[in-house]
Each structure stands twice: as structure tokens, then as C-alpha cells.
Amino acid sequence: MSDLEAFRAETREWLEANCPPEMRQPVRDEQDIYWGGRNATFKNDAQKAWFEACRDKGYTVPEWPKEYGGAGLSPAEGKILRQEMSRMGARPPLSSFGIWMLGPALLHFGTEGQKKRFLNEIAAGEIRWCQGYSEPGSGSDLVSMQTYGEDKGDHWVVNGQKIWTSYADEADWIFCLVRTDKQNKYQGITFMLFDMAGSGVTTKPIKLISGNSPFCETFFDDVSVPKSYGEDCPGYVGEINRGWDVAKYLLGHEREMISGAGGGDRTAAIGAAMKRNAGELDAVLRAELAMFDVDALAYTAMGEKFLDEMKVGKGHPAQPNMMKYAGTELNKRRHELMMAAGGSRALEWESDETSGGKPARNWLRTKANSIEGGTSEVMLNVISKRILDLPGA
Amino acid sequence: MPLYYDDDQAMLAETAQAFMSEEGAIAKQLRHWRDRDCKDGFGHGLWKQFAEMGFTGMLVDEDDGGLGMGHVEAGIVLENIGRNLTPSPFLSSSVLAATALKHGSDDVRGRWLPGLIEGEKVYSVAIDEGAKHRPETIACKAEKSGNGFRLSGKKDFVVYGASSEMIVVAARTSGDDSDSDGITLFAVPQDASGMSHDSVRLVDSSMASHVTFDGVELDGDAVIGEVDGGRDVLNAMLMAGRVGAAAEGVGVASGAMDMTVDYLKQRKQFGKLIGEFQALQHRAAHLYSEVEIARAVTIKAAQLLDGGSEKADLMASVAKAKVAKAAGLAVKEGVQMHGGIGMTDEYDIGLYMKRDRALQEFLGDMYYHAGRVAEMSGY
């Protein structure tokens, strides 16, 4: 037996022993997701047991090094773990912007002190992070942002407003882009880390067309951000005034994530499922579903190619923009078709049958896919400029 | 298997690209033969060169004198054929007929394969019996006669049929027209008496035949595979052909797209390069995405086919349909963005549009294949 085969067998055994049956059900609502944080509560014992088992094993962040709370798995082992988890339908033990966004940035740009402290906290689900990028008037044009940090020697005093800060009202800390030099558009932004419990930070949820509210407005009123949290642990990532480098790196990660490069059901074929739910399909709808499935299956192959190429450093660096563009447009189309196939049942805003209007709310939610993380139009601009090398783009 | 070319494949891609852009270039081949009203629609000299390059027998097993390569490799050659609009019988001879012959007896293989590998002979396949690709229905009849068969009926869209030394014909040896069983494949030689070609030039300047079989007498050794058991061979041939046509389509799409993007960087209007206009940039960027995705699923389908996966049939249809969408978009945007010059015969972009149209129709268009995807998915 090869090492990887042995690892697979071991992993399967461990998952069977540690993943409670309740955690092998599909996620139905927000309560089924565990986000961690200072004020986190578990929905039930199974959720707690599953989270703790994974945390102790390093499986909340399996591919991070052991000294930072991970399990130190190789990419091949990580893939096996994901395969085995998806085979048994296991839920993620911990969901977190710390894992998806800040973690990769710290692994790349962080000091040893920052990694030791923040990565371990993230892995253990102790601190829930949110991301402070967009501002009113600075959406996809991020570098036009105005939130300003005035240098006071050992700290900054930050004033301004962020918008679309997902779950800011439930987050403990924020990783935040702050202008620290008003003269320089790109090289005048610092990537700061600070506690939202400090004075001067307020948040206000924004209700969306889906009736839900994952997003907030976040206000900074004379917030004091230390330049250091102790030895080798600065209050900012990378260099002062060079936060744009970190932000760009992170946006690449976000786009890969949103594009669903790893597969998942966002881009899977849906025709067969729609027939099971809706019975006989109208001829034109069936045709639309078939054309959608062609695009979805082809996109899945693209996602696989993209990941294969990334692993060996092939492929164009702007390829995540293409994946993001094509993936989000596809996901919007997918939900349009699901609504059409669902008929009047899919319109129900509140019913047990629809788990509280899930089809309609999800459909409305997907409209943000081509706006958040850079609009489709911005993705097309990037492809024009960086891949096709078109003039003046 | 990773979804990019390994070192050997990358080397083949380099070789094929250099060869096709030099020897198979549009001016040297497509325009040359078209402007001379060549009745073959392609150059036999180039076909000999294909053989010298080792392309003709790449899908033929090594035991039979071929290179024993796979559909990923054939796709590499086809993509470069597509990019240069190189007229050649590669798809019909070296992919479709070669795949059918793989299932032939020692005698059948010994009779036909050497000529193919050496570039001496050109083969074709006769499947369609109407204007649209519907291989589920085969009405062409082959009745037992002596120790052989008597073939009657008509076939359409037999590519380069009149120039072919042999045509692989799918005919019915038992059952009703739409039965799955009861199909037999025959290797029908050019000089078979009772076979006649009505050869016509198509929009892309290739030649195709309406073939009539009027009681063509065939020996028993013309049978490829099992009598009445030809459906599996036919399906294998169709899958190989569809994945190959998709690969050629990716080449057509990329060729048209590259020409267009170049043009956007040169042509000035209103005092600006037209590539500076966002309206055109966004369309070009969308096109790029579609072509890349089509390329990915085509390589995926070829890998599945090479690996003998049961998903190959589904993915071959996905690839054929997706490439049709992407290449159709590439040639339409190509002509539109070139403006008036795109409508002239002198400029190559229109040739891409014509080739794409013919290629889309060959072995099933996107509607046919999207329909297959739905059926295979159970709806």
C-alpha cells in the first residue's frame, strides 16, 4: 500500500469515528454553519463534537503547518481529506474568513509572530474575522477609498466608513484597508488588523433583496489602531503603505474561491434534478437546461484544468479573473433556471416546503455574485488588459 | 491525469504548430486549391507530408505499423489543422476510418492500414442519410448474397468521398431502421461496381459526396467487426470523430479570435485604436473565456476517451456542443469586429466562418449534442 493509500484508509477510519451522523446532512440554514468567535454558540452537541475533534486534529485548516494549528498535510493529502469528507457528506467543521482570506495572506506576508498568534487563533475558531475593503463610492474601484489612518507615532487614528462588510456585526476583529498616504493612490494603503470591540467601531446590517442580511455598514470614529501587538507582531500585514500588494493577493484568492474552482454544486449540471422536482419539462425549458448543462460541465473541466495548472505554476496569472467571471455568470443563470423549473413553489417566501423560501432567496442572492469580489465588468477589463493586451484597457 | 499537455505532448504541439502554419497555411493550401477549383479539395502532396511527419497513423496500433498514440495527440494535430484551416483528410481517414479499422480482422487491417499510414490512400466514412446527423436511424441495407452482401441505399455528407480509396459504410443487416442492433460496418473500395458519387463543393470549399449504392456486391471480407454487431464500432468511431471535430473547432475558434484581437490593436476609428473601446474589449474578453472553457472540456473528453472511461460519450457530446457555441461566437464576432473588410474574400476571417459552419454540422451540431447530454443525464 502506498503512503497515500494508507493515509486515505486512516482518514476514512478517523472520519467514520469522529463525524457524528447529524454532521453528515446537507447544510440547510445559517445555523448549520459554525463560524467560531468569542461569542459563538453551538447549535447542538454534534456540531460541538465535530468542531472540537477537527480542531484537535488540525483539520479546521488541514494544509496549514502544525505549529500554526493545522495538520501539515501535503496538497495530495489535503485533496484526499476533501474527497473523503465529501464522500460521506461531512459539513465543514468551521467556516471563517480567517481561514479563507486572512490566513493565506498571513502565510504569505505575515511575520513569524503574527503567524503564531493569529493563525492559531483562526485554526481554533477563537476569533471571528471580517474583511473591510469596500467603501461607499469605492466598490470595484477599491483604490479610490477614503478611510484614513492618521499617524500618531505608535498608533494610527482611523476614521471613515466601510460597506458590504460581511457579518461585521458578528465579527471580533477586522482586516481592513486604510489609506495612510493621501498623495499616493496605490502605494498609500496599509492593511491593518484590529479588534472591533475597541471604542469607535459601530456596525449596522444592510437588508438585501433576498430578505437576509449577511452584510453591514461599518463606521470608524477615531479608532485607535496600534502599530504593534508585541514582539514581532505588527498591527498591519506586509509593509506600511504597501497594503495594496496584500489586498491584490487576497483578491486573487477570493476570486478563485468565488469562481468555485474546486467544483462543488455551484456549477454542476442541473437538468436531471429539475426533472425530478418539476416532472415533465416544457420543451424550451428542457432545451435551455441542456444548453446550461453543456456550459456547466465544460466549466467544471475548466476548473479542473485551472487547478492542475496552478499546482505546477502554468497558466496565466489573470486566469482567476476569467474563472470568476464565467463561474458567477453561470451561477446566476443556474438559479434563473431553477426558479423557472420550480414554478409557483419556488416563489414561496416562507414555507416549510421551501425551508423558508430558500429557492427564491438563493436566486436573489446570486445576483450579487457578479458584483462582489470585483464586478463582471471589472473582470472583463482585467482580461482585456492583462491577457489580451488590448490598448488603453 | 492533469488537464494540460505532458512533455511529449507539448513537443508534438510545437511540431504540429510549426508544420501546419508553414506547410498547411491558408495561402498555401486552402486558397491555393480553392482558386484552382481542385476537385479533391485538398492537396495529396501535403497528405504525403502528413505521413512523413508521422501524423497519418498516429491512432493506429504499433503492431499494425502505427504510432499507437491517443486522442489527446490527434487533437493536437487537429487543433493546428483548425487554426490554419488546412484542408486534409486527417479527420475522416486518420481518426474516423482508423478507429473503425481498429475493429477489423487481420485481413481487413492488413489490406487498408499500410496505405493510410504511408499517406498513399485517403479514406472516408458514410454515416448520415439526410441533411442532419441522425446515426440512431440507419436505413441503408446490406442483404446477404452468396458469401457476401449486396448493399443498397444512399448516404450524405461523405467528406472527400469521391477522392477516397475506401469508404467505411454503416448499413443495416437486420431489424428496423431505428433499431440499435442489426448494424454492420463495411469497408467499401472505390472501384466497387454500383457505387456512384454526386460530389459537391461545400461552403468551406471542401468536397463532400452524396453516395448511391445500387446493389453493390461486397465480399464477406469487407465486413469490419461483427455482422449485426456494428453499433459498438459505429459508436466508438463517432466518439473519436466528435472529440476530433471539437479539437479542430478549438483551433478554428482560436485562429479567428487571435486574428480579431490583432485587428483590434491595429485598426483606428474616430482617432483611436478600436481595441480601446470598452464595448469591444468586453466582447473580446467574453469570447476569450468561452474559447478557454471549450479548450478545457475538449482535452478532458479526449483524456476520458483515451482512458476508456464510461463518461467519454457524455463528455464528447459536451465538448462538441461547447466548442460549437464558442467557435460560432468567435467567427461571428470576428467578422463583425473586422467590419467591412471582414466581408471581403481577400481577408481570411470569413474563411474561418465558413469552416466553422461545416464543422458544426459534421457529426452533429450543438442542438443535437445538447439533446444527447439531456438524454444521457436522464431528462
Cα A17 to Cα A13: distance, rounded to the nearest angstrom: 6
CB pair distance less than 8 Å for A389 and B282: no
Give one word for A271, left, alpha or beta, with left for phi > 0 and alpha for psi -120 to 50: alpha
Are B326 and B294 in contact by the 8 Å Cβ rule? The answer is yes
- Residue B115: burial class (beta carbons within 10 Å; 0-12, 13-18, 19+): middle
Please, what is the Cα angle at A382 between B259 and B334, to 5 degrees?
20
C-alpha cell at B109: 487491417
pLDDT, tens only, A247-263: 988 887 776 665 544 44
C-alpha cell at B287: 469570447
Cα A300 to Cα A265: distance, rounded to the nearest angstrom: 10
Are B218 and B151 in contact by the 8 Å Cβ rule? The answer is yes
Contact residues, chain B, for A326 at CB < 8 Å: 289-290, 293
Average pLDDT, chain B: 97
- Tell if the pTM clears 0.80, that is, is over it: yes
Residue type, A376: S
| Candidates B278, B292, B321; nearest CB to A302 | B292
pLDDT, tens only, B180-189: 999 999 999 9
pLDDT, tens only, B301-331: 999 999 999 999 999 999 999 999 999 999 9
Query: What phi and psi values does residue A249 have, to the nearest 5 degrees?
Result: -60, -45
How far apart, in Å, do the first and last CA atoms of chain A sit?
A: 54
DSSP class per residue in B69-105: --HHHHHHHHHHHHHHT---SIIIIIIIIHHHHHTS-
pLDDT over threshold 90, residue A18: yes
- Point out which residues pair with B142 in neighbouring strands: B151
Any chain B CB within 8 A of the CB of A76?
Answer: no
Please tell me the predicted confidence (pLDDT) of residue A393: 55
Contact residues, chain A, for B300 at CB < 8 Å: 301, 304-305
Are B284 and B333 in contact by the 8 Å Cβ rule? The answer is yes
Cα A279 to Cα A289: distance, rounded to the nearest angstrom: 14
Cα A28 to Cα A43: distance, rounded to the nearest angstrom: 13
Contact residues, chain B, for A370 at CB < 8 Å: none
Please tell me the predicted confidence (pLDDT) of residue A26: 82
Contact residues, chain A, for B369 at CB < 8 Å: 294
- Chain B interface, best mutation among A286, A297, A310, by max B CB count within 10 A: A297
pLDDT band, residue A265 (cuts 50/70/90): low
Helical H segments across chain A, by residue range: 3-18, 45-57, 75-87, 97, 103-109, 112-114, 120-123, 243-258, 271-278, 283-311, 319-347, 358-366, 376-382
Which of residues B159 and A252 earns the better pLDDT score?
A: B159
Are B244 and B55 in contact by the 8 Å Cβ rule? The answer is no
User: Which contiguous run of DSSP H or E holds residue B293?
Assistant: helix B278-306
pLDDT, tens only, A279-334: 889 999 999 999 999 999 999 999 999 988 988 888 888 899 999 999 999 999 99
C-alpha cell at B169: 459504410
What is the mean pLDDT of the segment spanning B346-370?
Answer: 98
**Sole residue written with cell 479542473:** A304
Cα B100 to Cα B119: distance, rounded to the nearest angstrom: 18
CB pair distance less than 8 Å for A305 and B4: yes
| Candidates A293, A298, A390; nearest CB to B284 | A390
pLDDT over threshold 80, residue A28: no
Any chain B CB within 8 A of the CB of A314?
Answer: yes
Radius of gyration of chain B (CA): 21
Please tell me the predicted confidence (pLDDT) of residue A262: 41
- Point out which residues pair with A148 in neighbouring strands: A159, A179
- Residue A326: burial class (beta carbons within 10 Å; 0-12, 13-18, 19+): buried
Query: What phi and psi values does residue A210 have, to the nearest 5 degrees?
Result: -80, -5
Which of residues B291 and A262 earns the better pLDDT score?
A: B291
What share of chain A in percent tops pLDDT 90?
76
The interface residues of chain B toward chain A in range 145-174, judged by CB-CB distance below 8 A, are none
Please tell me the predicted confidence (pLDDT) of residue A261: 43
pLDDT over threshold 90, residue A75: no
Helices B231-264 and B312-338 cross at an angle (nearest 10°) of 30
pLDDT, tens only, B194-241: 999 999 999 999 999 999 999 999 999 999 999 999 999 999 999 999
- From A375's Cα to the closest Cα of chain B, the distance in A is 12
Residue type, B233: V
Contact residues, chain A, for B371 at CB < 8 Å: 287, 290
CB pair distance less than 8 Å for A390 and B264: yes
| Residue A61 three-state SS | coil
C-alpha cell at A37: 468567535
- Distances, alpha carbon A212 to alpha carbons A207, A334, A360, B122, in Å: 6, 20, 11, 65
Residue type, B335: V
pLDDT over threshold 50, residue A101: yes
pLDDT, tens only, A360-391: 999 999 999 999 888 999 999 999 999 999 99
For A151, residues 6+ apart whose C-beta sits below 8 A from its C-beta are A180
| B135 closest CA partner among B242, B245, B243, B238 | B238
- From B20's Cα to the closest Cα of chain A, the distance in A is 24
Farthest-apart Cα atoms in chain B, separation: 78
- From A301's Cα to the closest Cα of chain B, the distance in A is 5
DSSP count for chain B of H helices, then E strands: 11, 10
A257-261, B175-179, B373-377: least confidently modelled range: A257-261
What is the mean pLDDT of the segment spanning B87-99?
Answer: 98
